Structure 1
């Protein structure tokens, strides 16, 4: 990976703010993937004034990285080990031309070399994604560096955002490396008629190898990391509207202009 990671940037800001502490992330995202509510936990020798600490740290963060909330969760809280699930969103321009605001954050399907000149009907894509839900061996859809084990995909739905932009929303207990990108890319390949549908079903039902497609990173957003109610550091309102989060792409819910 080139350049500093999100964790590097946060730890550097903590040091500059006089709060030297290592952070424990809920997981890692691929280079080029965006994160709306990535969670980092840290343990401090003293309980600081949170608002004051937040202000000091925020001054040392790069402009495209912000801290939305700081809380004192349960003593046993660990950002990764107590997480109960994750939500991802992947933006696709299926029809028309992607707007300038969304261009860096969406896959422009009609202009993607492999998919160019192939029609991808939204209802067809939604049907394929729905078939992927359930507890399965997703080995055909993730890197072999991730452990092979059953994983539960709770939902995989497609939502129209307007002007030909669509959003794939995926929720699950946990995801292997590149799993979301392979699921979205391979579903697109089947919907475009470039991969037989029976191969898709065999990969899902019997973990058969698949000549899938890894969708590009820029369309993907880690939307949120979920925790059991007893240890969740965020209120329902904060999850819906994280304080300080920009309302612009790739995080805003407004339709593109």
Structure 2
């Protein structure tokens, strides 16, 4: 039995020796391939601390209790520095003025009556009839959006479709005195935008005025202006506009003179008296 135990112990020792040799051979083989160095570098990399760690949040500022809190119900008196810095007030005023001027000219406030607008429109139609028939033309009444704020002038779509290009096009606006203004015609919106503001402000156009647009050239509009509310200078005869109104003005003055004359005055003939009475009765109606 002792012999059996000694044999088993010797066999176990031989196995362990064989196992140790196999491990050493494997390690040597791994070193030859460089795998052992790679394993060591990976182990060192995992042990290094992470430098991109999340930063700790900043501590919140504590309320300073030494500052006295205002508990009074009275309103705090406002402090003005205008006396110390007068140039600041001038700067603010200039800035407001420049800002308002950039936004556009405000409407003048003169509102024309329906009769005044119709009179200007009829005068414009008379002038349009006397223009060259080979030049396309149209009459346009002014509204507030045409002569103030946005300064956008929409043109008749049928006229634009027949005589103007469907794209953006540079045009020249020429008034009766030959003064020219550069403008931009936007074909897809059938209207004038750039340059129309300068033309409108230069001629002091107002709500109710009537304008005749004559397409003298493919890129040039000849514009005739008829004011609904005429000033003293504009009422004096000058050019085509006053020549066409001379007959209408004279006839209107004669009617007013006959209506204002006293009835007791003996008329030169009975027929003018009847006409005056008819006109007077017509005016009362």
TM-score by length of 1: 0.25
Query: Which one has the largest radius of gyration?
Result: 2
Structure of greater relative contact order (alpha carbons < 8 Å, 6+ residues apart): 1
Q: Which has the higher helix share?
A: 2
TM-score by length of 2: 0.23
